[in-house]
Structure 1
Amino acid sequence: MKQLADKEDKDKCKKYGSMSHRLPVLIRTAGLAQTLAFVEARGDAGGEKLLEDIAVVLKFKGKESLLESSREAELPEYMLLTRQVLAALTWYKRFAQSVLGVESGAVGEDGNK
């Protein structure tokens, strides 16, 4: 049972780290609101946790508040929010590499190596 829990934790860490590497590119190509909605729609635990962490760092009440702001912000606010999320993701990418041991491209789109 413990082995199964350890494997699930490792998978969540890999997905979290992989998402932290992929989000900046997705944000630059698709836009902030679309990217955040995509991550939420996937419903995977790593992506959900990353959204929560970004929301906390940017002082939102939760990921729902972050998502709402990304959808409803006027252009100057949207651009600022995009820069803030990208800055936070820079830190999370470094965290994924150094602490979680997840390098860019470590986990594919389907979550497998």
Structure 2
Amino acid sequence: MKLIQHHYAEKAYQHVMNAKTNEENFSNQYGQLCHRFASMILTNGLRLTITFFEAKSKKGNAYQQFVQDIKETLDIQGDWSASNRDYLIKSRQALSASVWLKRYAESILKVEQGAEDVEDIQ
């Protein structure tokens, strides 16, 4: 039986390795999103953070890939009408998954926190 943390670690590793195979600018942007995701959830909530990332998404950019990856990892569909309890559970799961994304962004992508402003990412 796999623990949920093991699932998050595997998924995060796959997603970060996929980002690494893209051009360097893309992988740096993806790494910065990995760093910022948890703090944005704590500040704005999961729904607003995902919605913000979706608004910034353009075909093939880091925002689009990150949103797709986090939704796959957390098994989030487009329906946000879940109960408060379910929403809080998904928010906690997102925070747990973000730890792994941040760790792999630092070790694999060599992206340090605060290296670039998130608004500069296109």
Where does residue 85 of structure 2 map in the other structure?
76
Where does residue 53 of structure 2 map in the other structure?
39
Deviates more, 1:45-54 or 1:20-29: 45-54
Q: Secondary structure at the match of 2:112?
A: coil
Instruction: Decide whether the 8 Å contact of 1:24 with 1:89 is kept in 2.
Output: yes
- Aligned-pair RMSD on alpha carbons? 1.7
Encode CA deviations 1:51-108: one digit per residue, 9 max, x unaligned.
Answer: 2222222234xxxx2xx24x21110000000011111111000110000010101121
Where does residue 41 of structure 2 map in the other structure?
27
Instruction: Decide whether the 8 Å contact of 1:20 with 1:96 is kept in 2.
Output: yes
Q: Distance in 2 between matches of 1:43 and 1:59?
A: 19
Of 94, 116, 122 in structure 2, the residue corresponding to residue 85 of structure 1 is 94
Where does residue 101 of structure 1 map in the other structure?
110
Q: Secondary structure at the match of 1:107?
A: coil
Considering fraction of residues, name the structure with more helix: 1
Encode CA deviations 1:36-62: one digit per residue, 9 max, x unaligned.
Answer: 0000101151121112222222234xx
TM-score under structure 2 length normalisation: 0.73
TM-score under structure 1 length normalisation: 0.78
Q: Percent identity?
A: 34
Q: Distance in 1 between matches of 2:38 and 2:121?
A: 18
Deviates more, 1:49-58 or 1:20-29: 49-58
Runs of 4+ with deviation above 6 angstroms: none
Q: Which structure carries more relative contact order (alpha carbon 8 Å, separation 6+)?
A: 2
Q: Secondary structure at the match of 2:35?
A: helix
Q: Secondary structure at the match of 1:72?
A: coil
Q: Is residue 91 of structure 2 the alignment partner of residue 110 of structure 1?
A: no
